[in-house]
């Protein structure tokens, strides 16, 4: 389903992010998570894309499995890193044949543990990837005459590689003008950052849907990993104080994290957010608790999952 169909109406969308499993054990956890969350009938689920080819085939396989064996609507991530135009075109053709409706076009993280020369990539920035997908759409190769819906990333707290916030907004505006249909934000823990970002987008004449990225903290190790991966993310003192009171009690840390994320979601809904995207880390417990707390009726009854 195209993103413009998904975002119809005034009701916010709810969606989940998964990443491809690398081991049989991780795969079993993920497929159980998918079974757990399928009954919630999210508007879509996104699937991440490994840097430098580390999990790219796994991404394609997972996207196609979700598309063909569940009632979920997958949106694959696609990045610029280590790609040439013919490779991206072959991926788009593959997804079009499977009737994937949308793509999330990202700059991507450089591969770890090896030398990487960005100058060799055909796409230097996410805008180049957006333009390429737009040209693919115009070729008529997709079964939907509109082609793929194109999503891009937004950074409420600022992009770590672009300290100049005015220039950063110019870059985002350029991606939208190049063909982006929606924005999914990096995770954040202070809604004021998101609301200010949304207002700055409006001032920049960016009027496409902005979906808020939320990641509940469920463990101290996960908390530290978030701080490492999401460089520049600000952790409000209120959250840090609550986590300190837990004294490394794992159950209490999870309760605090879920409660904090739930409050974020309630406030975002009160602020008429276009959608909420949960970074699940391939586990369903926290997401289900938060979703249930929001009092949102499930869209429709799902059949028994077949993952």
Residues involved in catalysis: 17
Identify the CA nearest to 105 among candidates 46, 160, 60: 46
Residues with Cβ within 8 Å of residue 138, at least 6 apart in sequence: 147
Mention every residue, 6+ apart, whose C-beta is less than 8 A from residue 199: none
Closest C-alpha to 3, from 186, 232, 180: 180
Provide the terminal-to-terminal Cα distance of the chain, rounded to the nearest Å.
20
Q: How far apart are CA 14 and CA 6, in angstroms?
A: 10
The sign one gets for the Cα dihedral 245, 250, 253, 259 is negative
Structure tokens at 76: 């694959």
What value, to the nearest 5°, has the Cα angle with vertex 301 and ends 297 and 307? 120
Contact 274, 246 (CB under 8 A): no
Host H or E run for residue 85: helix 85-97
């Amino acid at each position: 389903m195209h993103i413009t169909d998904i975002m119809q109406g005034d009701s916010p969308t709810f969606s989940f992010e998964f990443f491809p499993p690398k081991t049989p054990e991780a795969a079993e956890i993920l497929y159980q998570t998918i079974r757990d969350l399928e009954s919630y009938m999210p508007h879509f689920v996104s699937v991440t894309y490994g840097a430098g080819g580390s999990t790219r085939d796994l991404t394609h396989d997972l996207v196609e499995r979700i598309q063909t064996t569940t009632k979920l609507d997958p949106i694959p991530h696609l990045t610029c890193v280590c790609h040439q135009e013919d490779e991206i075109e072959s991926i788009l053709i593959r997804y079009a044949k499977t009737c994937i409706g949308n793509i999330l076009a990202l700059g991507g993280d450089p591969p770890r543990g090896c030398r990487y020369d960005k100058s060799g990539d055909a796409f230097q920035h996410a805008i180049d990837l957006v333009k390429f997908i737009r040209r693919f759409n115009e070729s008529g190769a997709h079964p939907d005459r509109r082609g793929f819906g194109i999503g891009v990333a937004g950074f409420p707290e600022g992009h770590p590689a672009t300290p100049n916030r005015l220039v950063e907004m110019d870059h985002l505006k350029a991606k939208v003008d190049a063909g982006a249909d929606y924005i999914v934000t990096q995770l954040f823990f202070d809604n004021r950052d998101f609301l200010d970002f949304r207002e700055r987008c409006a001032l920049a004449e960016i009027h496409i849907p902005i979906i808020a990225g939320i990641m509940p903290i469920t463990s101290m190790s996960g908390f530290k990993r978030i701080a490492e991966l999401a460089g520049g993310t600000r952790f409000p003192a209120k959250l840090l104080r609550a986590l300190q009171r837990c004294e490394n009690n794992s159950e209490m840390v999870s309760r605090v994290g879920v409660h904090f994320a739930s409050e974020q979601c309630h406030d975002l809904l009160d602020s008429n957010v276009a959608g909420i995207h949960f970074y699940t880390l391939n586990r369903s417990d926290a997401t289900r608790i938060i979703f249930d707390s929001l009092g949102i009726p499930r869209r429709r009854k799902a059949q028994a999952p077949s993952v």
